């Protein structure tokens, strides 16, 4: 069967499955179980780290109910502020709609090319209170993006 519901905002699927997994090393499964296939009123949704479709809230699985039916007790089901209710998944306006946010880290292992003019020679200061203005002209080129470079002189 297929289902999509646009009456409510989508459920936000947490990256860590509400603390049951490490998002960098473990998979997360969203299971929607139609308990009695002739009715929609008993459908059940839960998050699990395991491939089986049996809800097991105890160790080692620690499966989490997607919508426990009580948004008032601090276990908000993350499906929008306009959907704070006492409806379990089967009766909720958000059933069938899910949103998952994935963060992607990009590592650039090629250093930018920095070209600078040779500074002019100057004389050494005679005391710690000797100050001068310094201008360094440089360009920075990077292959992957616009470069925003700042310079800090540690003297």
pLDDT at 69: 73
**pTM of the predicted structure, to 2 decimals:** 0.59
User: Looking at residue 6, what is its pLDDT?
Assistant: 66
Structure tokens at 131: 């100050």
Q: What pLDDT score was predicted for residue 55?
A: 93
pLDDT given for residue 27 in this prediction: 86
Taking the C-alpha atoms of residue 70 and residue 84, their distance in angstroms, rounded to an integer, is 8
Mean pLDDT by 10 residues, the chain (155 residues): 70 77 84 85 89 90 81 59 72 83 74 80 67 78 66 56
What local confidence, expressed as pLDDT, does residue 54 receive?
A: 92
12 beta partners: 99
Residue ranges per domain, the chain? 1-110
Angle, CA 53 vertex, CA 51 and CA 64 arms, to 5°? 90
What's residue 155's pLDDT? 46
Structure-block tokens of residue 21: 């997994």
| Rg of the chain on CA atoms, in Å | 28
DSSP 3-state of 27: coil
């Amino acid at each position: 069967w297929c289902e999509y519901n646009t009456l409510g905002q989508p459920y936000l699927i947490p990256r860590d499955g509400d603390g049951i997994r490490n998002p960098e090393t473990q998979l997360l499964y969203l299971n929607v179980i139609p308990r009695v296939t002739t009715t929609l009123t008993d459908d059940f949704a839960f998050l699990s780290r395991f491939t089986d479709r049996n809800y097991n809230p105890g160790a080692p699985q620690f499966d989490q109910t997607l919508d426990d039916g009580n948004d008032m007790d601090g276990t908000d089901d993350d499906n929008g502020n306009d959907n704070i209710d006492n409806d379990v998944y089967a009766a909720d306006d958000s059933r069938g709609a899910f949103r998952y946010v994935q963060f992607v880290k990009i590592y650039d292992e090629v250093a930018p090319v920095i070209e600078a003019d040779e500074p002019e020679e100057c004389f050494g200061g005679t005391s710690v209170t000797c100050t001068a203005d310094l201008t360094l002209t440089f360009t920075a080129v990077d292959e992957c993006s616009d470069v925003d470079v700042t310079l800090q002189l540690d003297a």
